Amino acid sequence: MKFCSGFVVFLGFWTFLQAEPFYLVKDHQPKATIVIPDDPSLTESFAASELSSFLQKSTTAVLPIMKEKEAFASPSENFWVLIGGTRKTQELGVTLKGITKGGFLVKRTGPYLIFWGEDDRTRYRQGKPYPVDPKQRSQTRHGTLFAVYDFLEKNLGVRWYWPGSLGEIVPSHASVYVDNVDYRENPDFEYRFCYGYWLDDPDFQREESSLWWRRQRLGGAGYAPATHSFASYVARYGQTHPEYFALQKDGKRLLDTTHGGHICLSNKEFQKILIEDIINTFRAHPDIYTISVMPGDSFERYCCQCAECRAKYEEAEKSFPPGHATFIRASGKHSWIVWEYVNEVAREVGKVFPDRYIGCCAYASYYLVPRNMKFEPNVAVTVCRGNADLYFWEEKDIQRSHAHLAEWAKNTRLLFTWEYPCAAQAYGNPVIFPHGVNQEVKRLKKSGVKGCIVEYTPSYEPARYGGEYTGWMRENLTTYVLFKSLWKVDTDVDKLVEEYCRDLYGPAAKPMKKFFLLLEEIWKNGNHGFKPYYENWSNIWTYLYSAEKKEKLITLLNQASKLAPEGIYNQRVKKTMAGFSVLWENR
Ligand SMILES: [Zn+2]
């Protein structure tokens, strides 16, 4: 049998100690039974079906899935694959000690091969573990499922590069076995989430996108770190208590939720309701450990103009004199009023639930740490690093961003970041930076960041391009490496890029690899100093992608197309070319 990793070969000498190899499949015949608990969680059931389904695709053998009480009803000489927290696993003395936040173990002991991880067992008992509903998409842990994915990737060479079947790689095997295996993994970042969940590509169903993200190990502990959180109150109190909402310059209260909801941050009556709501939610959901308290978007434009709020803005501005602005549209102008509000809520909630968190983003005009503010210990901070050009931007900008991060790290135990690798692409740019993104993730880990939300272009690009969207392709390699890096920062980027090109493009791998690496080089060594992208994105075609470079890139794609003239490799080259059509359009 072929193995895509040296994993089993490396452990081969154990065969002398272990009676015989553990066969899941031998010569296309099933040799093991997949066993799930009698009362399986959604994750355990789905992990079993994913394992069975990919073993079948690879070997044609169909492994039965049985509940524990049936599987062990009569004696057998079979091998058993134990999925999740079965009684048998516990009888064998295996525990999840040391496994946290959606991590997992893979272990063989005698005739048993165990896939078990830390899962969310309390929520989402119905449906699928890759819900299309964005409200449910991220806040769950799926260690057992990731144990299965890890096995399929390492031992069968399965890959999920794109959503749907076109980007799925399942090598054929006659037999699948392990000799002796015993390892545990916890993710380097406990929370891995994307914003811009659906690709809006007519070739893919939304459900395929959702499943693809889960296979990138999207998920995490607790709850979304922070996002605009007041919109739902408009329907509840807009008519009866308009005074709870932000007074606008035209003298009317803002009862429009399109900007994420803006309240009057001086209204104590509303704040009391908010605190009660949060306490009730924490009480009802023991697994939720962060709840967001954050104003709607474009705070500067929609913030409350009542006399009390205005006085607070003026006071806050004194502590942030002109010149404090950092990145584009990011400053500390409203840091004091927003974070004071968050702290007040955290203080009251903390009296009841000291171990749960109130989260807010360091965002736009409340991006900088307010000076001389004492933060409550239960405030979680998500720093929105809006200058996505950090990835290969000038070193001084990167350092400035990390200096801000370090300031926040001093004020919170729970630090997340919101990353925007998409911003470079948002203007149609063919920007690829797999190595750069890995370097940045390594820095974030060192800074104590616990999790990342990654903003992905599909959240706004379809509108820009008249609804037709294939440009996700321009982010795909970077995103693939980014999520691998969030799981383990020490991932081998060269190997990932090599495999990506080999697996997806077969005979066209060489020019495709050159194509991606040339794009990365152009971005890395580009003249970014002029920074006009945000004013006029078409400038980038003058400054970064010269006619000569575009011709080189197009030539490589044409070479790839010739080397893969038909079949699935050709389809993938064509799909890639469609994603990079900007190169022709801006010739
Ligand atoms: Zn107000």
Tell me: do 180 and 280 sit in the same domain. no
In percent, the amount of the chain with pLDDT more than 70 equals: 83
Q: What is the pLDDT at residue 519?
A: 94
280 with 136, same domain?
no
> 235 - beta bridge partners?
none
Distance 373 CA to ligand 1 centre (A): 21
Provide φ and ψ at 24, rounded to 5°.
Answer: -90, -40
Q: Distance, CA 232 to ligand 1 centroid (Å)?
A: 18
Tally of domains in the chain? 3
Q: What is the pLDDT of residues 494-511, one digit of tens each?
A: 999 999 999 999 999 999
For residue 103, what are its two tokens? 């991590």
Question: Which residues does residue 419 pair with via DSSP β-bridges, in sequence order?
Answer: 454
Between vectors from CA 368 to CA 362 and to CA 369, what angle results, nearest 5°?
Answer: 95
**Centre of ligand 1 from the C-alpha of residue 364, in Å:** 19
pLDDT of 565 above 80? yes
Structure tokens that stand for 101 in this block: 């936040």
**pLDDT score of 4 more than 50:** no
Distance (Å) from CA 82 to ligand 1 centroid: 58
Q: Is pLDDT larger for residue 402 or for residue 160?
A: 160
Res. 305 pLDDT band, cuts 50 70 90: very high
Cα(263) to ligand 1 centroid in Å equals 7
Q: Are strands 357-362 and 29-30 parallel, antiparallel or unpaired?
A: unpaired
Question: How remote is the CA of residue 310 from the centroid of ligand 1, in Å?
Answer: 7
- Cα of 345 from ligand 1 centre, angstroms: 17
Same domain? For 168 and 235 the reply is no
Between 456 and 358, the more confident residue is 358
Say if CB 94 and CB 116 are below 8 A apart.
yes
Asked, for residue 527, whether it belongs to a domain, the answer is: yes
pLDDT reported for residue 10 = 39
Cα 334 to ligand 1 centroid, rounded to whole Å: 13
Locus of tokens 């991932």:
491
Mean pLDDT value of segment 325-337:
73
pLDDT classification of 545: cutoffs 50, 70, 90: confident
Say whether both 181 and 238 belong to one domain. no
Tell me, what's the pLDDT at 9? Answer: 37
CA of 267 to the centre of ligand 1 (A): 7
Q: Are residues 177 and 237 in the same domain?
A: no
State the chain's mean pLDDT as an integer.
86
Would you say residue 436 lies in a domain? no
**231 shares a domain with 182:** no
CA of 294 relative to ligand 1 center, distance in Å: 15
**Global confidence as pTM:** 0.90
Rounded to 5 degrees, φ, ψ at 82 are -95, 120
58 assigned to some structural domain = yes
Min mean pLDDT across 71-80, 92-101, 514-523 is at 71-80
Q: Which domain holds residue 288?
A: 224-369
Q: Which of 165, 186, 207 is the last residue of a domain?
A: 186
What's the 121 CA to ligand 1 centre distance in angstroms?
42
301 CA from centroid of ligand 1 (Å): 14
Domain assignment present for 432: no
Cα-based distances in Å from 333 to 320, 330, 339, 416: 6, 9, 12, 22
In this structure, the answer to whether residues 12 and 150 fall within a common structural domain is yes
Q: Rounded to an integer, what distance in angstroms lies between the CA atom of residue 246 and that of residue 254?
A: 5
372 C-alpha vs ligand 1 centroid, how far in Å? 23
Please give the backbone phi and psi of residue 21, each rounded to the nearest 5 degrees, phi first: -65, 150
Kindly give the distance from the C-alpha atom of residue 212 to the centroid of ligand 1, in angstroms, as a whole number. 44
Q: Is the pLDDT of residue 230 over 60?
A: yes
Spatial contact of 215 and 153, defined as CB atoms under 8 Å apart: no
**pLDDT range class, residue 333, cuts 50, 70, 90:** confident
Give residue-wise pLDDT tens across range 465-490: 444 556 788 889 999 999 999 999 99
In a domain, 570, yes or no: yes
35 or 392, which is more confident? 35
69 CA to centre of ligand 1 in angstroms: 62
Confidence of residue 2 (pLDDT cuts 50, 70, 90): very low
CA 305 to centroid of ligand 1, rounded, Å: 6
Both 157 and 286 in one domain: the answer is no
Listing DSSP states for 522-544 in one string gives HHHSS--TT--TTT-TTHHHHHT
What is the C-alpha to C-alpha distance for residues 152 and 33, in angstroms, rounded to an integer?
17
Cα 241 to Cα 294, 302, 303, 350, distances in angstroms: 20, 18, 17, 27
Could you tell me if residue 218 is inside a domain? no
Q: Are residues 24 and 111 both part of a single domain?
A: yes
Reply yes or no on whether the pLDDT at 587 is more than 60.
no
Mean pLDDT lowest among 124-138, 246-260, 554-568: 124-138
Helices 567-579 & 493-505 angle (0-180, nearest 10): 120
**CA–CA gap between residue 458 and residue 144 (Å, rounded):** 29
Quote the strand ranges of 171-234, DSSP E: 176-178, 182-185, 191-195, 219-220
Question: Is residue 95 included in any domain, yes or no?
Answer: yes
* Domain match, 179 and 228 both: no
Q: What is the Å distance from ligand 1's center to 343 Cα?
A: 17
Angle subtended at Cα 162 by Cα 2 and Cα 101, rounded to the nearest 5 degrees: 85
- Report which of residues 503 and 372 the model is more confident about: 503
Question: What is the 569 CA–ligand 1 centroid distance (Å)?
Answer: 59
Distance 278 CA to ligand 1 centre (A): 21
Domain final residue pick, 328, 345, 369: 369
Determine the pLDDT at residue 390: 60
Phi-psi region of 466 (alpha: psi -120 to 50; beta: other; left: phi over 0): left
What are the tens digits of pLDDT across the range 422-464?
766 655 678 889 999 999 999 999 999 999 988 876 545 544 5
* Geometric angle at alpha carbon 149, from 148 and 150, rounded to 5°: 90
| pLDDT score recorded for residue 6 | 36
> In angstroms, what is the span from residue 265 Cα to ligand 1's centroid?
5
Structure tokens at 354: 């000291």
Q: Is the pLDDT of residue 418 over 60?
A: yes
* pLDDT at res. 527: 66
CA 297 from centroid of its chain's CA atoms = 22
* Best CA proximity match to 509, nearest among 552, 564, 558: 564
Q: Which residues are within 8 A (CB) of 55 and not within 5 positions of it... i.e. 6 or more apart?
A: 24, 25, 61, 63, 156, 176
Give the residue among 380, 527, 511, 378 at the shortest CA–CA distance from 450. Answer: 380
Report d(CA 111, CA 107) in Å as an integer: 11
Q: From ligand 1's centre to the CA of 224, what distance in Å? A: 27
CA of 90 to the centre of ligand 1 (A): 57
pLDDT at position 584 is 84
Q: Three-state SS for 416?
A: strand
* pLDDT tens digits, one per residue of 264-288: 999 999 999 999 999 999 998 887 8
Last residue within a domain, chosen from 369, 388, 421: 369
Asked if 303 and 154 sit in the same domain, the reply is: no
Q: Determine, yes or no, domain membership for 91.
A: yes
- The CA 27 to ligand 1 mean position distance, Å, reads 72
The Å distance, Cα 337 to ligand 1 centre, comes to 11
In this structure, are 269 and 349 located in the same domain?
yes
Q: Give the CATH number of the domain where residue 66 resides.
A: 3.30.379.10
What pLDDT does residue 260 have?
A: 87
